Amino acid sequence: MPKVFQFAPTGQSHRHLEAAGCEVVLGKKEWHDPTRNSEADVAAAATGADALAGTSMRQAPITRRVMEAAPDLRIVAKASVGVDDVDVDAATEMGILVTHAPVESNWGNIAEVTVTFMLALLKGVNDQDAVIKAGGWWPEGSLGRYVGSRKADGYAGVTLGIIGLGRIGMRVAQLLRPWNITILACDPYIDDYRFLEAGAIPTDLETLLRTSDVMTLHVVLTKETRHMIGAEQFAMMKRNAYFVNTSRGECVDEAAMCEAVETGVIAGVGLNAFEVEPIAPNSPLRRLGDKVLLRPHGGTPSAAQGSQPAGRGEGQNTDWVNTDVLRALHGEVPIHVYNKAAIPAWLKRFGGKSLL
């Protein structure tokens, strides 16, 4: 039986692999603890595996050491859009395929979370809710607060700045386009027509930061984007502006962000991603009150989740993972390969060689 190591299990999706004839080893919850170094334990569990699969596990990433523990490893299959917790360069060098799951239930949900953050921050929902629950009514000073430019009809016209116009950034723009607000977008890696599709005005990052009332970040984590938003960028923003990050925590200098919020350089933030996940008990983010909105990294349940037949995954993303794993075990190239440069070497090693 081929061995599949689910380093970060996704519900009962492993039952489908077991039914297909695989031996499945499940990862442990403590590997997600940011205070631990679990690389050795993960490598030990991966020993002799033919496939690795799972959702995100940033505190115990799939490193070269982990993959070297499995000399016949064919695939690392992720149930997430991002693969930043996998050493993709090492996998490609070793002839191992890395697959991911850019399904709508992943990126579409994150876009909706982004809009939720934006509206909750702009409308002061968090502090209003807290005041009413504490026995009050209007939070002090809230009646005089607004964001945007006053128009003739008295409405505050908001300018939204989208950094990264990929799947998620594009969906955010599409969701907000009917609101008839000004949408700016910065993305040097997409074609011009994408801005037209989004109804967004293309601009550079500095102009976007200085002009926007709300900024949302939607970039992948690379050497280029690590800490791309820091003290210098926060200083460019309006003092009443809000910043939303639903991409990757490492793209933002978290210490600089907390200082910017605490000292009033910006009005507040909404975060779905953090440099260390989960955040530490003494994280400055926990003492910033209604200036911040925080939720665990991830989207929200979709209609596809929880509606699968028994033994299947919890959504389209886990079904994609299972399909990719089984194809690789059959000696076939999976559909959702991220590191396509590894395919030629992979075919020489595993092409047409089925383990099932």
**Domains of the chain (ranges plus CATH)?**
3-103+303-350 (3.40.50.720), 104-294 (3.40.50.720)
Question: Quick check: is 104 catalytic?
Answer: no
Catalytic residue, candidates 100, 167, 218, 248: 248
Based on its alpha-carbon atoms, the radius of gyration of the chain, rounded to whole angstroms, reads 22
How much of the chain, in percent, has pLDDT values that exceed 90? 69
Render pLDDT for 90-116 as a digit per residue (tens, 0 to 9).
999 999 999 998 877 678 889 999 999
Q: How many CB atoms lie within 10 A of CB 301?
A: 12
The per-residue pLDDT for 130 is 85
Distance CA 235, CA 195 (A): 26
Is it the case that residue 145 has pLDDT exceeding 70?
Answer: no
Specify which of 14-18, 33-37, 148-152, 340-344 reaches the highest per-range mean pLDDT: 340-344
Render pLDDT for 281-317 as a digit per residue (tens, 0 to 9).
999 999 998 899 999 886 555 443 433 333 344 578 8
Catalytic residue, candidates 16, 297, 327, 336: 297
Residue type, 185: A
Mapping DSSP onto H, E and C, the string for 49-69 reads CCEEEECCCCCCCECHHHHHC
The per-residue pLDDT for 326 is 97
3-state secondary structure of 206: helix
Question: Quick check: is 349 catalytic?
Answer: no
Render pLDDT for 194-242 as a digit per residue (tens, 0 to 9).
999 999 999 999 999 999 999 999 998 888 999 999 999 999 999 999 9
Q: Mark out the alpha helices in 166-250 (DSSP H runs).
A: 167-176, 192-198, 205-211, 231-236
The per-residue pLDDT for 138 is 80
Distance CA 214, CA 121 (A): 9
Q: How confident is the model at residue 147 (pLDDT cuts 50, 70, 90)?
A: low
What angle (nearest 5°) sits at the alpha carbon of residue 75, between those of residues 169 and 47?
125
Catalytic residue, candidates 68, 197, 277, 332: 277
What angle (nearest 5°) sits at the alpha carbon of residue 232, between those of residues 142 and 294?
45
Question: Quick check: is 277 catalytic?
Answer: yes
The per-residue pLDDT for 59 is 83
Backbone φ, ψ for residue 87 (5° rounding):
-75, 85
The per-residue pLDDT for 299 is 55
Q: DSSP assignment of 334-349, as one string?
A: -SSBS-GGGHHHHHHH
Helix H or strand E segment including 242: strand 242-245
- Residues 76, 50 contacting (CB under 8 angstroms): no
Return the DSSP state at 298: S
Mean pLDDT in the chain?
89
Distance CA 343, CA 92 (A): 8
pTM, 2 dp: 0.80
Q: How confident is the model at residue 152 (pLDDT cuts 50, 70, 90)?
A: low
Work out whether strand 156-157 and strand 149-150 pair parallel, antiparallel, or are unpaired. Answer: antiparallel
